[in-house]
C-alpha cells in the first residue's frame, strides 16, 4: 500500500488488538451465560420429570418439551472397531462412513434403530463395536 506510514500500520495493529480483546471478553461472557443456561435447563428438566410432565406451556414464551438424545462414541479398541466396520460393510455404508464424525455416526444409528423397528427400547439399542449409547434428556422450546 503506497503512502502507508508506520503510524497507519501501528493504528491498524492496535485496532486488531482491540477487536481481539473485545471478542475474547464476549467469548468469556458467552461461556458464563451458557453455564448458567445449562444449570437452569437442568433444574427445569428435573422439575418436569419429578412431576411426570413431558411438556409445559410457558406463558409469553412457548411450549417447553423433553426429548432424549442418544450419543454413541466411535470405538477405540481394535476389536470393537473391526466389529463396527464389519457391520458398516454389511449395510453397504462403509465407504460413506469410513471417516465417521460423531454427528454422522449418531444420525446413522438413529436410522438403524428405525430399520430394526420398535422391538427394543432406544437406550438398549446396541450396535456391534459401539455398545449402548449415552442417553441425554434435552429441553426444547417451541416459541409461541
Q: What is the mean pLDDT of residues 120-134?
A: 70
Residue 15's pLDDT band, with cuts at 50, 70 and 90, is: very high
CA 142 – CA 63 distance, rounded (Å): 5
Is the per-residue pLDDT at 138 higher than 70?
A: yes
Cell numbers placing 34: 451458557
**Residue 121 — pLDDT band, cuts 50, 70, 90?**
low
For the whole model, what pTM was predicted? 0.56
pLDDT digits (tens, 9 = 90+) for 80-117: 888 888 888 888 888 777 766 767 777 877 777 777 66
Strand order in the sheet with 55-58: 55-58, 62-71, 134-143
Adjacent-strand bridge partners of 135:
70
Q: Which residues contact 86 (CB under 8 A, 6 or more apart)?
A: 128, 129
Residue 133: count of CB within 10 angstroms of its CB = 22
Residues 135, 91: contact at Cβ < 8 Å?
A: no
Contact assessment for residue 96 and residue 90, using Cβ atoms and an 8 Å cutoff:
no
Q: DSSP class of residue 74?
A: P
Asked if 84 and 75 touch (Cβ cutoff 8 Å), the reply is: yes
Residue 60 has φ and ψ, to the nearest 5°, of 80, 0
- Which residues have CB under 8 Å from 128's CB, separation 6+? 83, 84, 86, 87
pLDDT of the residue at 63: 95
Amino acid at each position: 500500500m503506497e503512502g502507508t506510514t508506520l503510524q497507519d500500520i501501528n493504528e491498524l495493529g492496535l485496532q486488531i488488538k482491540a477487536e481481539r480483546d473485545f471478542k475474547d471478553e464476549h467469548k468469556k461472557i458467552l461461556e458464563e451465560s451458557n453455564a448458567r443456561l445449562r444449570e437452569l435447563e437442568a433444574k427445569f428438566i428435573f422439575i418436569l420429570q419429578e412431576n411426570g410432565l413431558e411438556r409445559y406451556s410457558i406463558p409469553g414464551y412457548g411450549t417447553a418439551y423433553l426429548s432424549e438424545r442418544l450419543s454413541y462414541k466411535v470405538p477405540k479398541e481394535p476389536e470393537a472397531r473391526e466389529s463396527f466396520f464389519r457391520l458398516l460393510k454389511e449395510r453397504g455404508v462403509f465407504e460413506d462412513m469410513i471417516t465417521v464424525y460423531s454427528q454422522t455416526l449418531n444420525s446413522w444409528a438413529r436410522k438403524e434403530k428405525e430399520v430394526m423397528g420398535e422391538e427394543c427400547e432406544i437406550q438398549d439399542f446396541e450396535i456391534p463395536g459401539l455398545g449402548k449409547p449415552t442417553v441425554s434428556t434435552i429441553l426444547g422450546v417451541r416459541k409461541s
